[in-house]
Amino acid sequence: MIFHLQPVHVHLDAGFADIAAEKFSRLERFFPDDPEVYLIVKKEKFEFILEAKIQCRKTKTFMKTRSNNLNAGLDELVDKLKNSLSKDHDRRRHKKGKDSIKNEVYAFTSESETKE
């Protein structure tokens, strides 16, 4: 996984970058190849805005969250991304399952007709 961290108007230590990379590495299972993760951390008045963009092949996923606590916001962002990616993964898997069932039924009927 390729991880990019971009702080805007906020000072982050190296430990936060390592923690963020570790948390985003849990999402690798949803991608066939190594995804590119862009995490933008902004500070506006009293809250942090975290934006994540994940790109793998032609798939792009974007999520944004606001929080008063930086670590809690990061956890919330990763959970939102996990839920979104899980739903997309299930939709694609379900769609492939329907196509394969149609193809199996078609193959079964065409084989039985040729035997007679």
pLDDT recorded at residue 114: 45
- Quick check: is 106 in a domain? no
- Alpha carbons 14 and 92: distance in angstroms, whole number: 37
Residues 30, 85: contact at Cβ < 8 Å? yes
Q: Is residue 23 part of a domain?
A: yes
Q: Which residue has the higher pLDDT, 104 or 86?
A: 86
| The residue type at 10 | V
pLDDT at residue 86 above 60? yes
pLDDT-based confidence at 98, cuts 50/70/90? low
pLDDT value of position 78? 94
Q: Is residue 93 part of a domain?
A: no
Q: Which domain holds residue 30?
A: 2-85
pTM of the model: 0.75
Number of domain units in the chain:
1
Give the CATH number for residue 32.
Answer: 3.30.160.100
Rounded alpha-carbon distances, angstroms, from residue 75 to 14, 55, 70, 82: 18, 20, 9, 11
Query: What pLDDT band is residue 99 in, cutting at 50, 70 and 90?
Result: low
DSSP one-letter string for 27-83: GGGG-SSPPEEEEEEEEETTEEEEEEEEEETTEEEEEEEEESSHHHHHHHHHHHHHH
* Separation in Å, CA 74 to CA 11, 16, 43, 87, 100: 16, 10, 13, 20, 39
Query: DSSP letter at 8?
Result: E
Considering the domain boundaries, does residue 109 fall inside one?
Answer: no
Kindly tell me if the per-residue pLDDT of 42 is higher than 90: yes
pLDDT top residue among 109 and 45: 45
User: Mean pLDDT: which of 16-20, 84-88, 94-98 is highest?
Assistant: 16-20
Mean pLDDT of 6-28: 91
Distance CA 32, CA 25 (A): 13
Is 20 inside a domain boundary? yes
Q: Is residue 115 in a domain? A: no
